[in-house]
Structures are given as structure tokens and as C-alpha cells.
């Protein structure tokens, strides 16, 4: 079994790589070789008992994807993207990376399929940003994709391409719409959603955090550990039951900012909560107001995808994985 992770230097890519290094089984088969790719060369995992290749490569370059397919990986995890805030701030960069890079990858696979019948499993990370207001109380599997951001639009187009290329038999694709992943370790990124993690991460480390929105804001979350579980399950799930609709909203936890803060209080006490400073940001408030708040992802649950039980578990996972 050969696997390719595009976007392997990102947080979820690193977590996926670590899991595979510790448990080298993918889709029920032993992992023999792993290629890790990103615009910055990813680090190879320590202690892996399979072949690992790392490359620095920009998927938005027209010929880059063709080079990645020379070894014919059986499973391709397409995680590469720039985040919501950066996509909104830099229109051209967002479409070049999030859309053009995806199209180049899918086209390279199509060309390889025409040459020798190559047909890999492609796991595409989409986003709940493909949905736009007005929302029902909980977004079900039949809700219309109508994004209101550039990032959401780019991901929605990627979903359509994934479905069409799969329909034509060029590859076996599955798209997973990730909830907002929290609590993200490390330094903040340019995602508009970054504060969801920082108001927990920084106080747990004894540092001040800025809260730019009201505590009544509700959102949909999953932990990094759950995100890796989604990817691994997507690599092995029977896609024949998906039919033409190849993308699924993943399970998660719907909580308000106030409920996040109470989970922090239960984990670290009032002293940690006191490190959160309210500083309203109208730009972020406007962006967040157009985001989904709750889901009813019955298709994914029926296929065996599972997430965290509650936000307390998400906090515990961060403490175990990052602070222990």
C-alpha cells in the first residue's frame, strides 16, 4: 500500500503522518511507502518502518501533480489549501491554490488513468464553509451548498469536480467537510476561525487570548484527533453507497463560545478564564455570522464516522496530545 499526503506540513497533515508512523495500516493493508508533500518540505516521521519520501512542491504549478503520481499511490489525501481568512484577503492566491491546485491534481490523475487504468482513492478535505445563510436549526444532508465566502466557493467547486471525476471513473473520490478543528496546537494561523482555538490554547499555557466575537456565537467543532480519524475512515469506507454525492458533512460538537469557556474553566479554573480579553472585531464578527452552527450528519454517521462526545473531551485531547 502506497499513500500520498498533499499538504503534509500543515497541522492535520502532521497529525495524520504521526498516526500512520505509529499504526502503519491503511484501508486494512500494511503501509509500505508514504510520500509527504507541501510547499515547505515536510518532516519525515521518526521510527517509521516503511519508506518515506518528502518533497517541497507547489501543487498550483501546472506540472507538479504529474510528478507526484509517478509511483502510483493507492490513496491520495488532498489536504493542501490556504485558510479562510487568507483566501478572503488574497482573492487570486485563494483561487490559485484552493481551486487550480485541486484541478491540476484531478487532471493529472485523469491523464494517468487514460495511460494505464490508474484509479486511486482520493480523500479531499472540504469544509463546512460550503454552506451559507440562512441556516436551519441543524444542517442536514440535503441542505444546499451556497457559500458566501471565497474559501467556501473554492471548496464547493472542488466538491463538484470530485463528484464528476469520480462519476466518470477516473478515480474513487470522497470529500469530507471538516468542522472547525479545535484546539489547534502551535501558533495562530490566518484563519478567521483561529480564535476558537486560541481562547482555550493560550490560557492553558498561561497566556492572554483575544476574543473578537460575542460569547453567544455558536459553532461546529471537532478535535485534531477526530479529524485524523475522519481521514483514515474515508480511506477505507465503501464508496458505492455514496452514489453521485461524494462529499459528506462530518460529525462534530455544536457549542457556544460561552460553553467553550466553561469547558476551559472546568479544566483549568478561573485563573485561566481570566486570561481571555474581550476585544470585538467587526470584520471577524461579520465573517463568523455567516458560518454554520449545527449539523445533523446522518450519512456520515451511518457510514461509521465518529467525532468527540463534547467540548470537554476536545479540551482533554489537547491537554493529552500537546501539554502532557
* CA angle centred on 10, ends 195 and 257, rounded to 5°: 20
Which contacts (CB < 8 Å, 24+ apart) does range 110-113 have? Answer: 110/165, 110/168, 110/170, 110/171, 111/66, 112/69, 112/72, 113/169, 113/170, 113/171
Residues 255 and 42: beta-carbon distance below 8 Å: no
Helices marked H in the chain: 11-22, 64-68, 84-89, 91-94, 101-116, 150-167, 194-204, 224-236, 257-268, 270-273, 282-289, 298-302, 311-318
* CA angle centred on 148, ends 226 and 213, rounded to 5°: 65
- CA neighbor of 171 nearest in space, from 162, 160, 179: 162
Helix or strand (DSSP H, E) at 276? strand 276-278
**242: which DSSP letter?**
G
Catalytic pick among 95, 104, 151, 165: 151
Active site residue 151: yes
Which residues form the catalytic set? 151
Amino acid at each position: 500500500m502506497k499513500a500520498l499526503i498533499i499538504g503534509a506540513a500543515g497541522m492535520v497533515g502532521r497529525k495524520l503522518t504521526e498516526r500512520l508512523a505509529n499504526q502503519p495500516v491503511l484501508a486494512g493493508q500494511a503501509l509500505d511507502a508514504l510520500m509527504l508533500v507541501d510547499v515547505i518540505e515536510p518532516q519525515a516521521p521518526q521510527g517509521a518502518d516503511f519508506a518515506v519520501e518528502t518533497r517541497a512542491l507547489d501543487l498550483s504549478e501546472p506540472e507538479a501533480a504529474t510528478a507526484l503520481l509517478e509511483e502510483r499511490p493507492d490513496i491520495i489525501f488532498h489536504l493542501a489549501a490556504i485558510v479562510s481568512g487568507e483566501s478572503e484577503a488574497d482573492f487570486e492566491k485563494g483561487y490559485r491554490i484552493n481551486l487550480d491546485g485541486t484541478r491540476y491534481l484531478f487532471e493529472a490523475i485523469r491523464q494517468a488513468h487514460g495511460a494505464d487504468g490508474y484509479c486511486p482513492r482520493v480523500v479531499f478535505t472540504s469544509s463546512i464553509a460550503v454552506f451559507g445563510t440562512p441556516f436551519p436549526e441543524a444542517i442536514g444532508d440535503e441542505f444546499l451548498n451556497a457559500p458566501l465566502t471565497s474559501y467556501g466557493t473554492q471548496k464547493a467547486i472542488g466538491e463538484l469536480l470530485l463528484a464528476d471525476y469520480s462519476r466518470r471513473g477516473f478515480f474513487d473520490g470522497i470529500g469530507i467537510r471538516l468542522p472547525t478543528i479545535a484546539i489547534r496546537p502551535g501558533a495562530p494561523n490566518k484563519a478567521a476561525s483561529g480564535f476558537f482555538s486560541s481562547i482555550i490554547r493560550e490560557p492553558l499555557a498561561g497566556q492572554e487570548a483575544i476574543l473578537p466575537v460575542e460569547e453567544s456565537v455558536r459553532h461546529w467543532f471537532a478535535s485534531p484527533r477526530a479529524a485524523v480519524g475522519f481521514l483514515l475512515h474515508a480511506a477505507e469506507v465503501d464508496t458505492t453507497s455514496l452514489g453521485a454525492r461524494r462529499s459528506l458533512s462530518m460529525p462534530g460538537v455544536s457549542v457556544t463560545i460561552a460553553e467553550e469557556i466553561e469547558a476551559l474553566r472546568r479544566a483549568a479554573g478561573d485563573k485561566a478564564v481570566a486570561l481571555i480579553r474581550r476585544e470585538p472585531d467587526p470584520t471577524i464578527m461579520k465573517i463568523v455570522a455567516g458560518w454554520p452552527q449545527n449539523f445533523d450528519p446522518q450519512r456520515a454517521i451511518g457510514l461509521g464516522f465518529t467525532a468527540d462526545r463534547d467540548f470537554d473531551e476536545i479540551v482533554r485531547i489537547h491537554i493529552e496530545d500537546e501539554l502532557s
